[in-house]
Structure 1
Amino acid sequence: MSTGVSLGDQAAGERELAFALLAGPAAGGARRATRSLLRSGRSQILDLIAHLPAPDRENAEATAARLWERGVRPLLCDDPRYPDSLRRFSGAPPALFCLGPMELLERPAVGVCGSRDASDGGIRAARACGAEAARLGIAVVSGYAKGVDTAGHLAALEAGGTTIAVLAEGIDHFRMKAPYRELGTAVGANMLVVSQFPPAQRWTAGAAMTRNQVIVGLSRALVVVEARDTGGTLKAGEVALRGSRPVFVLDSMGSASPGNQRLISAGGRHVADRRELRALLQQLRVEQAPLLPID
């Protein structure tokens, strides 16, 4: 059966995947790789890759072939398809490993971040955000964790919308969870999975914090649900505020959540009801995300 991809396209795609795998190690880290790609192009990193040990390069080529067969596609930060809002955001990764429809990255998007152990009210608030965003043609970007993330992703899909799952681990560890599989074929057409990490990297708390920068960078605003007084949700809200992204703090507990209060005090907007949320999302649809100077 034909896949619709020529051997030439496959070879070029595997080379791009291998380059994405090796750029960070060759440059001495992800941030250095991003800066080098955006300032000097690929020639410098290609020279550095050529000096890596042969087994490292051979392993990257074998991994690239395996990822390509699985449907994983690379997106380097110097590619015109790489979202400019992320490219200009602090902590932009040199590459994203993508599984699913990459064109979803072109849509206006809102980030959703919140507790893994959210209250019933928090889950309802996250679902309201996902459903309202879907009806407005806005993609929901979240972290594919249980609780608020899952509620936002699923509500968007159930309402006929689109969603982007940003992993806190390598894409080798991605598995479609049961609630998503129950939605059938719509998930494959309307959900993009991305990871900035080496494919075999496992979940860590530090990676989850780093992943949140991509969620914020892809989004025109961040919706926060039940932020604790410490942890990833609070940090994501702080990253968004520093990056000039609006932060909408949903009132799922009468704003009693300690992290919610801190974010509101720092400049986040308290959102009291669904009508106000809908109006804010409608405004996002026609606004552009701020274009920050490239570091």
Structure 2
Amino acid sequence: MPAPRKTSNSRSSASPRKKPVVRKRTSKGKKGLSLEWKFAVAALLLVLFSPFYYGYIIKGFSSSWRWIKDIGEDPGYRTYNSFNIKIPKGHLIHGIDVSYYQGKIDWKQVKAMEEDDVAVKFAFIKATEGMFNVDPYFQRNWREAPKAGIICGAYHYFKPKKSGLWQAKFFLQTVKFEAGDLPPVVDIEELNGISSAEMRLELQVFLTHIEKKTDVKPIIYTGLSFYKDYLKGYFDEYPLWVAHYHQPRLKMPAGDWHFWQHSDKAKISGINHVVDFNVFNGDSLKFDSMLIR
């Protein structure tokens, strides 16, 4: 019996259908960013991520914040954050005074410190006390401060019970004053158990000897109360340096004083302890006229 013929399925025998080709539509109207725009975007990103840009923003913010903080403060006696104190306005020349208490000082950092119109131009350095005591940091400070560009003066802490003459000799044996230095200073703050008349007598002996040997009038340093109680009217021919703290102005006639120690709480770069801060009563010409010739 002949084998039956294989019949092919009609679907399989038919030629396979081709999938329709889907053509992607292209929009002739849409184009990529032009080269100019790409450069503009790149430049904007560079500005936004630049440290200079953020430095400018931070500086502006800091200035605005300081302006906000200063609202309510006396504009003539505002806070200088770098120095951590309020500083009276209207004074062009600022300085400090130091002793062993401040320890080892980096005078280059002191000189470099500045905020707005305030920087350290001068320094009074403790040299001696009484008849025998030399400040242990005096020689280093006296040598290094001028190297940093700071104008210096030296001071002696006066002991009224001791001989004014021998204290003056001891002071001048320790300190070698030169042209360009500030005048010698005597620091008088106590009666030390003697009468005011006896104190003034020994102080006058000290001042007379210093002036004779240096050919310059010494500066007298004292507190405002001590000056009013014991010195006023007796030593008016000598330059006066007055301590009167944390006040917007010194309560004395402007012509009566040369230096004002207005704070004992200043923070200065290069010094590890708080420092006395001072202003000079006058401009740079008047300041220069005080220096030893």
Structure showing the higher strand proportion among its residues: 2
TM-score above 0.5 = no
TM-score (norm 2): 0.31
State the TM-score, normalized to the length of structure 1. Answer: 0.31
* Structure with the bigger percentage of helix: 1
